[in-house]
Amino acid sequence: MKKPSGLTLGMKAGMLSVLILVVLIAIWHSATLPRTVAAPKMTAAETEYAKMMGKGASGTTKASDFPTPAQMGETALKSLSDPFYDKGPNDKGIGIQIGYSLARVGLGFLCAALVAIPLGFAIGMSPLLYKAFDPFIQVLKPISPLAWMPIALYTIKDSSISGIFVIFICSVWPMLINTAFGVSGVRREWLNVARTLEVAPLRRAFLVILPAAAPTILTGMRISMGIAWLVIVAAEMLVGGTGIGYFVWNEWNNLSLTSVIFAILMIGVVGMILDMAFARLQKAVTYAE
């Protein structure tokens, strides 16, 4: 049996994705159609009045409170047509809000990488350090990042920096653990050859260990980025001010459900783009044996 080419498989997957999307939109449209509900019992006078107003006595038509696909499309078009407008603290475009969130995530993620990757290298190369740090990692890793928010707000006293600190905390553990695992899993034969050739430790780390552990390190970074983008939304709901999380909360307070759903979809799209970027980078550093 001939194996389908990658292009053919990709086209089929794309067509199936489009079909699933069409079915979901059709279900959504059907669920939000106006429905006729039974009218309460009325007196003869009330029935006559209802007929005069053009309403049937048997029932009334009630529109769904949930936004329709057409309303969502209108909101999306309006928001994306001018995503970078700025009309004050509580009225900024979706592009500006996402930009604030990405800046916080990027800074917190970068700080976590600067700490986790070198420390993971040291832990992975030293069984003594691995055993010494393991209890601390196991205790701190399961703590919800948002549990650190009160401490961050109390000590830092700045909501924006506190959000960056929360991103740092949630990003550091997957990178640290995966880096240590990748470094400790480098083939002994490669390290022995490097020692035989009297390669300096620093040169050995960059030329032997780092290329071998890079796929595992990128896996940890990919996981960390996914968690960071997940956490920043909740963090911005708590601290307020700017960001996509604050945008969701503010639109909910304004009772604009269409804007809330649109923001949720944008969160998903941006998260997908970030994950795809790390997936491509991970594929680029993965070698075939």
Which CATH number characterizes residue 200's domain? 1.10.3720.10
Is position 126 within any domain?
yes
By DSSP bridging, strand 59-62 and strand 35-38 are antiparallel
What pLDDT, on a 0 to 100 scale, did the predictor assign at position 108?
94
Report d(CA 218, CA 50) in Å as an integer: 68
pTM for the whole structure? 0.81
Encode pLDDT of 46-91 as tens digits: 666 666 655 554 555 556 678 888 888 888 898 889 888 888 777 8
Encode pLDDT of 177-188 as tens digits: 999 998 887 777
Residue 39 has, within 13 A of its CA and on its CB side, a CA count of 14
| Contact criterion met (CB below 8 Å) for 114 and 124 | no
Is position 84 within any domain?
yes
Is position 18 within any domain?
no
Q: What is the mean pLDDT of residues 104-123?
A: 94
Q: What's the number of domains the chain is made of?
A: 1
Is position 159 within any domain?
yes
Is position 130 within any domain?
yes
Q: Which of 209, 160, 168, 171 is nearest to 188 (CA)?
A: 209
What pLDDT, on a 0 to 100 scale, did the predictor assign at position 96?
92
Is position 70 within any domain?
no
Encode pLDDT of 228-274 as tens digits: 999 998 888 888 788 899 999 988 888 888 999 999 999 999 999 99
Is position 67 within any domain?
no
Is position 98 within any domain?
yes
Neighbour tally for 89: CB within 10 Å: 10
Encode pLDDT of 83-96 as tens digits: 888 887 778 889 99
Domain containing 227 equals: 79-285
Report d(CA 161, CA 107) in Å as an integer: 10
